[in-house]
Structure formats: C-alpha cells, structure tokens
Structure 1
Amino acid sequence: MKKYVVLGGYGIIGRAVVNDLFRFSKNDEIIIAGRDKDKAMNFAKSFNSKRVKYQKIDITNERELINSLIGKDICINCVQYYFNLIIMKACIKARTNYVDLGGMFHMTRKQFELCKEFTTIGRCAILGMGGAPGLSNVLASYAGEKLKRVNSIEIVFADVDYTKYNQFFVLPYSFKTLIEEFTLKPAIFQDGKTKFVEPRSGLKEYNFGKEFGKQKGFLTLHSEIATLSNYFRKKGIRKCEFRVTFPDAFVEKVSLLITLGFSSNENIIFREKDVKVINATTKIMDKLVPKEGVRIKDKEIIRVILNGNKIVDAVTQSNGKISAGVLDTGIPCSIAAQGIVNEKLCKSGVFAPEDAINPVLFFKELKKRDIIIYENGRIIN
C-alpha cells in the first residue's frame, strides 16, 4: 500500500486532488493533512473508508512536518506557495517524493536549487503540476516536439460559466493568488531575455471558438515563463507569455478592491491586535467560493499557441459539484503524484512538468477524467 500525504487536502484544490486519488489509486492510503484538524477530519470521514485518514500538521513546525512525512511515498503540496521551500526541505530530510501546484515564477526558480539534494536521496520533485502551470507545460512540450523551431509560445486560459449563483460575487480560487495575478509584475520572455512588465499590461483579445467566444486577457506572473524558455532554448525560442482572462465586470470589482487598499500588505490595529490588511480581506473573500449545494455548470479552456498558428487546448467541464478550473488544477497534480509513486516517473531530481511528464500517457489519463485535448481543433485523446 502506497501512502500519499496531501497538505491542504481539505482546501479548494486539495479536495479535487484527494477525490482523484481516492477514485484512481484504489488500494492506497491517503492522508488529508493541515493545521485545521476539524476540517481534515470531516473531509476524511466523508469518504467512509479506512484508507482515507487525517492528520493535524503545522508546516511551520519543522520537526512535526518531517516526522509526518517519514515513511510516506509522496507529499502533495496544496498550500500557498510561500511554504514550498520549507516543505521541500522537509521532504528531503524525510526522503519523500514531492509535487506542488506552482511557485509564481520567483519561488519556482528558488526551488530548482534543491535539485542536487533530491538527486542525492533518489527522490523526485515536480514543480507546478496543476492546470497552469502544469497541464499548460505539457501541452507546450507535446506541440513543440513536432516543430523544428519554436519561436514563440503564448499561454492563456478562459472560462464560460452557466451556473445560477445566489451570491453577488464568486471567487474562482484563492483570493491571495488572484490578487497576485493582478498586482505582481509579470515575467515575459522577449528577444531571448526575461523581462518584467507592468501588471495587467499587454491586453489582447483571443477567439476561442463558438463556445468560449472572444475574450480579453492580460499578462500575469506565471511559472511557465521560468521553465519553458529553458526547455525550448535549443529550438530558438524568442518569446514566451502568459495571459489570464476574466469577465470585464469581475476585473472591475477586483481592481476596485485593489484601488481601495484592501490588498495592502500593511498592518492595521484591530481589537488591539496587528492584522495585515490582505489577510483580513482574504478571510472574507475566500468565503465567496461557490457554496456547497450549488450545481456548478462551467467549462475551462487552457490554450497554448506555438509560433502563432500551432494551437493545443485542454477543455474541462465541471462535474456539477466542482468547477472546471479546480478540476483541471487538482487532477493533473494527482496524476503526476500517482506516476511518481508507481515508478512511471522514476527519475530523481527536481523537474518542471515538461521535463518529467510523457504527454501521450498523460493525455490518456486525462481522458479517463473527461479532460479533452485538442490539436488545432482535433481531439487527440
């Protein structure tokens, strides 16, 4: 029996990871872990299975974290990326494999510095193995292998939502992640060099076809730029960019919160305690994810465009309970973790998705989960 530890396994993405592990890794143990024991326990009990367990773990307590990872086959990190290095170093000491959802470019670069340590202990770490980054990287590597030269890569995702919500505002994922996509300077790879540009710059309209229509996207900070520029260097890459699309009304609301200072990292005094503004806002905003019982009906497309005309898409549809964007983030992470544990991805070291994942096998696994891959409009899985 293999043992998976899912840090933050009761969170938005963590739940999708655990659900997929439970469905496809049928004989293995899954440990839902995090600082909130009650949330971990309640989610674990919902499976009514002895192989789904829970554990309270304080990831800021090094000894506690290491002890919880010893004897486990892999740590799936679904907490905020600020803790990635702490968790990776604990995995090294516990001799445990590792996978995460990304490091917003800068953290990802730092994480690669631990490659020698993972190689020494004979363990594998895959960085940024969600939807974007993650699935997006594998789409790029698949399409790029067919081309003699890769001059440019554009990555963008879009959503279409038919859900009838009974709330004024719906948060698609972690508020802190969202705010960083709106406020941190995006990295772009241009003329063979990495540059940083103004937040929400580079507005561009994409035509995603009949169902998704035309949507406008702006540049945002993403880990793909840190790794794909190296992966395709020998093929002459000169440009790599990532854009995110949101409805205009959504952008206006988030922009207003930023303008009014609700995303500030400054401290304020509240009830005689120092409180960081962004933390207080996050506490409120994270309650605006879709409520349980709402029948979610949306689709998400992750698109990668190479050389302006080679297009590969991943299209995910919600399952009624979980949104498409959560599914296409959690499922790739689960697939990669299972691949590592079952020694289908047996290299040791620290890898980006494009270096570790076999696209054809990966796409077959995605098909089992109803995530469809298109190459220039033709289904390939």
Structure 2
Amino acid sequence: MKILVLGGSGIVGKAITKDLVSQPDVSQVVIGDLNVKRGEKYLEHLGSAKASVRKVDVNNHQELVKLMKGFDVIANCVYYNTILQVTQAAIEAKVHTVDLGGFFYGTIKQMEMDADLKKAGVTLLHGCGSGPGMNNVLARYAANKLDRVDEIHIRAGGVAPSPGSPPLKGAGMTIRTVIDEYTWNPMVYDHGEYKKMPCISGKEMVEFPDPIGLKPTYYSLHSEPLTLGKYIKGVKVVDIKVVFPDEEISKLTPLIEFGLTSQESIDFQGHSINPRQFIDRVLAAQEQEEEEQGSEFCASVLWITGLKDKTPVKLTYEFMMEHEKRWGNTKTGVPFSVGVLMIGRGEITKRGFTVPEEAIDPVKFIQEVKKRGFSFKETEETVREL
C-alpha cells in the first residue's frame, strides 16, 4: 500500500505518518509538505526507510494531480480551507482520499461533489480524526444498540499534561483552528433544522476522565451536527461543545475585538497586510516551539439518549489516550490512520462522499484504535419517571 500524507509533518500529520509506517502492508509513505525542512527533520526522528518527503503546494492544481497518481490513498491533513481543491485533484487523479473535515460549510460543499467522486470510482472518507471521526464512530456504535436514537451530545477537547510535563499553554488545537472556532458561529441540529448559536456560548462544565477533570465547554462549529443529523436515523438533537480554557478566551477576545482576526486586508506603509494571516503566523511560530514538549492526556465524552426495549436509556462514552507530543496529535492521527488503512485494505467499499458513521464498522474501528493506546468506557443508565 502506498500512501501520500499531505501535511505529513504537521501536528496531526506526524501521528498519521508514524502509525502508517508501522504497518506491514504499507510499503511507502510520502510526506507531501510545503515545508520540506520540517519534513526532513521529522524523517530523521522517525527513522523509517518507508518514508520520504516531497515538496508540494496544494494550491498548485496540476502539480498536485500529478503527484497523487500512483498512490492507493491520499491522507489529507492540511488546513481545512484547502479540502475542496484537494478533493478535486483526487477526483482527477482517480485516487481515494481521507480528510479531517470541512468545518461544517466545507462539508456541505464536499457533499455536493458526491456524483463526481462516484463517476471517478473513488471514495472520500470525510472527517476521520477525533472530532469529527472518533465521535462519529461512537455515535454509530451507540445507535446500533438502540431501537431509537433521540439526542447526541458531544463534549470534546479535554486535555491535561502528563506528570512531569510542562503546563498546557493553549486549547490543544492548531492556532488557526482555535481562532476559527472562536469567531465562527456554531451550529446545532435541532429537530430537522440547523440552528446558528452565538460564538463562545452555552458554557457547560463537564467532568472528563482523570487526570483531566472538570473543564468549561462551549458550542463549537463542527461537522458532527451536520452529518450525524443526516446519517443517524431519527435523531432529533445533535450538538458539540469543546473545551475553551477561560485564560485562552481572555487572551484571544481582545484580538477579536480590535479586528486583528479580520480576513480583510489593510494598507500599511504601502503594503497590503491581512491581519488574520499576520496573527496566524506569529502565534504559529510560538506553537511550533511548544508542540514537541512533554506528554499529555486527551479525552472526549459523549451522551446518547433513546429507547432500548421500549425503555428510555442514556449511554455515556468516554475515550482517552496519552501521547508524547513529539509524535504529534495522536488522538486525531490514530483514528485517521485507521480510516486510511481500512480504505487501502478494501474494508470500506462505498464510493463517493461518505463519513465514519456511514462507512465504518464501529466495533472493528474501536478494536483497532485500542491496539494503539486508546481506552474506552461505556455506561448505560435506565431513565424512569417517578
């Protein structure tokens, strides 16, 4: 199996690359990255003869199509605003693709590419990281246990440093994603409609598994409400809230209020400057200095309600893993890698646009990520009226 990992030396890409090269049936993993020096540095750290690095700019369409040809699967883990051009290139190259999700609105646009994907005879497995990804698989696992699904509530992003590791300095995501989640209105699925919520709203204190503990969560713009609302039959409500530390909110709020996260360019001393791009670049430089230090625990919690044997029940799922940060975001990268391997091994046969809750066997998927260090806890409660 030959895999091209776009952004393969980034925070998520490193974890994907590491898992893929460890598989006996994977013969070649190529890191496609604009930052070749970063890729070469990671190759030295990885120490696998299967891996190599190629310079690629996903905005160069012809170059990207040419590079994709000959691979079995494309693992696309570059910034989500490039997914449409990557998907179009994969259609032209006639190669399967896995990505991290489209931040709700990008997902809608990718759904519209379904006919073209099917015509090319290829699969796009959309949103196969942690959230979206593992969240969706667990929602499907729960739905398969119930006679009727009523509500799905996802609480994600619980993070805590491992003993002896430096304290956390952010929200556990790339800074560009953090700012997007702060400034884009979240959406929830509510009885057949998608409703827009205020940014940084719906604060809820959630108890995550030890050692993470109690954390503040807020509504966040993700694709889970969109796809679970579509693919989980009968569900009435789907929402997701993500941990945003109060200290992080206090740091970013002034940037937002002063317009420094605006995408509109301004003239400064004869030069056109995009405030958002400037902020991204400055904060990303700090992020890269910190991303390899120590280890951390990452966890999410889901509640699914419905009927089982005519009795109202509540299913609660916790999943957690500990990882060394030098290997990237394993909580996201491992589920992604498993999705890539399932396509490459012919275990996912649906062509066109698809998502984990539609295409993936949840029992097998959970078994695979458990082999790689994930732990799961399931609680079933019967709900009765007094």
Common fold by TM > 0.5? yes
Deviation at 1:150, TM superposition (A): 1.1
Asked if 1 retains the 8 angstrom alpha-carbon contact of 2:76 and 2:100, the reply is: yes
- Secondary structure of 1:59 counterpart: coil
Deviation at 1:268, TM superposition (A): 3.2
What residue is the counterpart of 1:54 in the other structure? 53
What residue is the counterpart of 1:330 in the other structure? 333
**Partners of 2:167 and 2:197 in 1: how far apart?**
35
After superposition, what is the alpha-carbon deviation per residue over 1:188-246, rounded to whole angstroms, capped at 9, x for unaligned? 111321111111111122233553322221101000011000112x3x32111110113
What residue is the counterpart of 1:214 in the other structure? 214
Question: Alpha carbons of 1:259 and 1:169: their partners in 2 closer, same or farther (altered >3 Å)?
Answer: farther
**Partners of 2:351 and 2:176 in 1: how far apart?**
32
Structure 2 counterpart of 1:333, one-letter code: F
- Secondary structure of 1:300 counterpart: strand
Question: Alpha carbons of 1:26 and 1:186: their partners in 2 closer, same or farther (altered >3 Å)?
Answer: same
**Partners of 2:99 and 2:32 in 1: how far apart?**
15
Please show how residues 41-120 of structure 1 align to structure 2 within 5 Å: 41-120=40-119
Match of 2:318 among 306, 313, 321: 313
TM-score using structure 2 length: 0.90
What residue is the counterpart of 2:365 in the other structure? 362
Deviation at 1:124, TM superposition (A): 1.2
After superposition, what is the alpha-carbon deviation per residue over 1:255-289, rounded to whole angstroms, capped at 9, x for unaligned? 23322333121223456431211111111111233
Any unmatched runs of 5+ in structure 1? none
**Partners of 2:300 and 2:167 in 1: how far apart?**
26
Structure 2 counterpart of 1:75, one-letter code: I
**Partners of 2:83 and 2:201 in 1: how far apart?**
28
Match of 1:344 among 334, 347, 350: 347
Asked if 2 retains the 8 angstrom alpha-carbon contact of 1:172 and 1:289, the reply is: no
What residue is the counterpart of 1:197 in the other structure? 197
What residue is the counterpart of 1:249 in the other structure? 247
Question: Alpha carbons of 1:321 and 1:255: their partners in 2 closer, same or farther (altered >3 Å)?
Answer: same
Asked if 2 retains the 8 angstrom alpha-carbon contact of 1:171 and 1:288, the reply is: no
More moved, 67-76 vs 208-217:
208-217
Asked if 1 retains the 8 angstrom alpha-carbon contact of 2:159 and 2:172, the reply is: no
Deviation at 1:49, TM superposition (A): 3.6
Question: Alpha carbons of 1:224 and 1:316: their partners in 2 closer, same or farther (altered >3 Å)?
Answer: same
Deviation at 1:313, TM superposition (A): 1.7
Question: Alpha carbons of 1:58 and 1:271: their partners in 2 closer, same or farther (altered >3 Å)?
Answer: farther
More moved, 287-296 vs 20-29:
287-296
Asked if 2 retains the 8 angstrom alpha-carbon contact of 1:173 and 1:289, the reply is: no
The number of residues matched between the two structures is 373
What residue is the counterpart of 2:139 in the other structure? 140
**Partners of 2:216 and 2:346 in 1: how far apart?**
41
Asked if 2 retains the 8 angstrom alpha-carbon contact of 1:25 and 1:338, the reply is: no
What residue is the counterpart of 1:123 in the other structure? 122
**Runs of 4+ off more than 4 Å:** 162-168, 292-295
After superposition, what is the alpha-carbon deviation per residue over 1:35-78, rounded to whole angstroms, capped at 9, x for unaligned? 22322333334434432111111211111110000111111111
After superposition, what is the alpha-carbon deviation per residue over 1:87-114, rounded to whole angstroms, capped at 9, x for unaligned? 1111011010000001000101110111
What residue is the counterpart of 1:237 in the other structure? 235
- Secondary structure of 2:22 counterpart: helix
TM-score using structure 1 length: 0.91
Residue 183 in structure 1 maps to residue 183 in structure 2: yes
**Partners of 2:165 and 2:354 in 1: how far apart?**
40
Structure 1 counterpart of 2:202, one-letter code: G
More moved, 327-336 vs 117-126:
117-126
CA RMSD of aligned residues (A): 2.3
Asked if 2 retains the 8 angstrom alpha-carbon contact of 1:264 and 1:277, the reply is: yes
Structure 1 counterpart of 2:194, one-letter code: T
- Secondary structure of 2:324 counterpart: coil
Deviation at 1:162, TM superposition (A): 4.3
Question: Alpha carbons of 1:374 and 1:165: their partners in 2 closer, same or farther (altered >3 Å)?
Answer: closer
Asked if 2 retains the 8 angstrom alpha-carbon contact of 1:186 and 1:219, the reply is: yes
Please show how residues 157-168 of structure 1 align to structure 2 within 5 Å: 157=156, 158-162=158-162
**Partners of 1:306 and 1:49 in 2: how far apart?**
41
What residue is the counterpart of 2:308 in the other structure? none
Asked if 2 retains the 8 angstrom alpha-carbon contact of 1:159 and 1:298, the reply is: yes
Identity rate of aligned residues, in percent? Answer: 29
Structure 2 counterpart of 1:182, one-letter code: Y
Question: Alpha carbons of 1:35 and 1:320: their partners in 2 closer, same or farther (altered >3 Å)?
Answer: closer
More moved, 357-366 vs 18-27:
18-27
Deviation at 1:175, TM superposition (A): 1.2
